[in-house]
Chain A
């Protein structure tokens, strides 16, 4: 059985007047020790999907209107708040995008890591044992345990992200959701942090959802990839399907095409023309058709189905024609 199974997930944001269709029927599964990459532009619904797993959507505005999230057989969307609290941080942990703002400025990093352990202290460990655990975890992420008495502002960006990672790993979760963990860091630190996460993932036997818009990060870390566009998974497959196979959704091709190459002598980057559609007024038919270089008449009216070939699934009419 897979560790995480998301079915037909639909999420909207509403402020009473406007309805933003953030996630429109997402399906995916994640097995133990697997890493899934969620790729897409800003606003594609990556973070929304992740937050809904932990039920951390903004209370007043975010609503899950359909679908189910099963974690190790537990229907997360049906749990009450208290049951959910015992899962958050203990069995599913999350790392947020910006380490600069995701630590509480008035508590020491030691206190913040310790809190995670105290909240889920199932084995009734003593204060000393917990303090020892804090030291161990800090060492694990490459921070001198003596620095636990320091406050977040006394750390650099990369170090802060290590603290955030230490905090999320404190209770050895089975699933780690990393929401663009390296976006706010500079490139050399990015590589360090990614290597460290990969190493810890192996050591602790975790599954991971890696949210990113950086295909480089995906190539480095993921076993499976899901490309999100306007709240839908438009392409889903294994690492091989993406990086070895040549058949791709036109949007994925666009993503690959927009990566600058070291060998090419190109003067300009080749971006995907246009912008993401307004999520309050999504286009008819295929949501990508206004930007698609291979758009056909059919795409403007008819929603494409998922065309599945082995482990690889693509939501595009082009591949329907191939099948016929």
Chain B
């Protein structure tokens, strides 16, 4: 197992090199150079050329790529063109907000989604099941910004219960987390229901029934572990996705997180920030996927056997 983990961690290196290469080239072929954006269109050409030279933009792309990679290996990701702060500092100051949002959303969505999905499967076609199906379809199809605005309308403007903006207290996180968590809970509930129904149709469930096991025992002991495996993958993916993708919610609720930082950086052609966050999120994504695989192995002995 330890060997497998080391192997997977080492595999991150070539993948990251490739990711950096691709992003580097994409940034290179997009129009506009950083100096023009920093100094403005009306700045004299000499000043722009001068700044571009200072930023190293006059060198060929491969050379810049190699320099970036060697610097990154020393954990130096450069400084932001805009703020002049180091990239690591910039990312690490914004990341906690996003991380909190992502963790809370995943917790909320699994606490709501998984139990509802299970109940829905056990009571297939009941009133509860139909209600859940309809409401999850609704939640899964409304766009995040709309849900966020509706929550603000109800809880901030009409009821005055929750702050609409900022990150001061835990109260500030309630609506953003619901905005992210509810649609995700809806997806999870649908998925749990499907995999649960699928599992309940398996032969080994019939075997357990033939042994004389009660319905609740069959669900808890025989079905859940098998049914939740695809759900865990989905949770891992959505967690990883949330880390880089809470932009809409960050904008709607005025939260200074990583998502809005990346968007601004792309607009401003702040290359070091874009590169730095890409590398950071890619590594994070791969580590989360590794953890998901390890959880898998923990649950399913067949996968554990493969990891040896």
Interface size class for chain B?
20 to 34
Q: Which of A60, A101, A115 is in CB contact (< 8 Å) with B211? A: A115
Instruction: Please tell me if the beta carbons of A101 and B212 are within 8 angstroms of each other in the complex.
Output: no
Asked if A101 meets B203 with Cβ closer than 8 Å, knowing A56-B209, A106-B300, A151-B302, the reply is: yes
Instruction: Please tell me if the beta carbons of B212 and A102 are within 8 angstroms of each other in the complex.
Output: no
Instruction: Please tell me if the beta carbons of B301 and A85 are within 8 angstroms of each other in the complex.
Output: no
- In the complex, A127 Cα to B179 Cα: how many Å? 49
Quick one: which of A36-72 are within 8 Å of B by CB? 54, 56, 60
Asked if A119 meets B299 with Cβ closer than 8 Å, knowing A96-B206, A106-B226, the reply is: no
* A104 sits at the interface (CB 8 A): yes
| Closest CB in chain B relative to A25 CB, distance in Å | 25
Instruction: Please tell me if the beta carbons of A85 and B302 are within 8 angstroms of each other in the complex.
Output: no
Instruction: Please tell me if the beta carbons of A102 and B207 are within 8 angstroms of each other in the complex.
Output: yes
* A30 sits at the interface (CB 8 A): no
- In the complex, A67 Cα to B211 Cα: how many Å? 24
* B63 sits at the interface (CB 8 A): no
Asked if A103 meets B207 with Cβ closer than 8 Å, knowing A151-B302, A153-B302, the reply is: yes
Q: Give the size of the chain A interface in residues (CB under 8 angstroms).
A: 33
* B305 sits at the interface (CB 8 A): yes
Q: Which of B202, B221, B299, B300 is in CB contact (< 8 Å) with A101? A: B202
Residues of chain B with a CB closer than 8 A to A107's CB: 221-222
| Closest CB in chain A relative to B235 CB, distance in Å | 18
Instruction: Please tell me if the beta carbons of B204 and A119 are within 8 angstroms of each other in the complex.
Output: no
| Closest CB in chain B relative to A97 CB, distance in Å | 8
| Closest CB in chain A relative to B308 CB, distance in Å | 12
Asked if A119 meets B211 with Cβ closer than 8 Å, knowing A101-B202, A105-B302, A153-B305, the reply is: yes
Instruction: Please tell me if the beta carbons of A89 and B211 are within 8 angstroms of each other in the complex.
Output: yes
Quick one: which of A102-159 are within 8 Å of B by CB? 102-108, 115-116, 119-120, 151, 153-154
* A164 sits at the interface (CB 8 A): yes
| Closest CB in chain A relative to B120 CB, distance in Å | 15
| Closest CB in chain B relative to A266 CB, distance in Å | 37
Between A81, A96, A102, the greatest number of chain B beta carbons within 10 A of the residue's beta carbon is seen for A102
Asked if A94 meets B212 with Cβ closer than 8 Å, knowing A101-B202, A105-B226, A105-B302, the reply is: no
Return the 7 tightest CB-CB contacts between A and B, nearest first. Answer: A89-B212, A88-B212, A89-B211, A101-B203, A151-B301, A104-B204, A102-B203
Chain A residues within CB distance 8 Å of chain B = 54, 56, 60, 81-82, 85-90, 93-94, 96, 98, 101-108, 115-116, 119-120, 151, 153-154, 164, 167-168
Show 19 A/B contacts (Cβ-Cβ < 8 Å), sorted by A. Answer: A56-B206, A85-B212, A94-B210, A96-B203, A98-B203, A101-B204, A102-B204, A102-B206, A102-B207, A104-B207, A104-B222, A105-B226, A105-B302, A106-B299, A108-B301, A115-B213, A119-B212, A120-B212, A151-B301
Q: A56-B210, A96-B206, A104-B226 are in contact. List 7 more A-B contacts (CB 8 A).
A: A85-B213, A85-B214, A86-B212, A94-B210, A106-B299, A119-B212, A153-B302
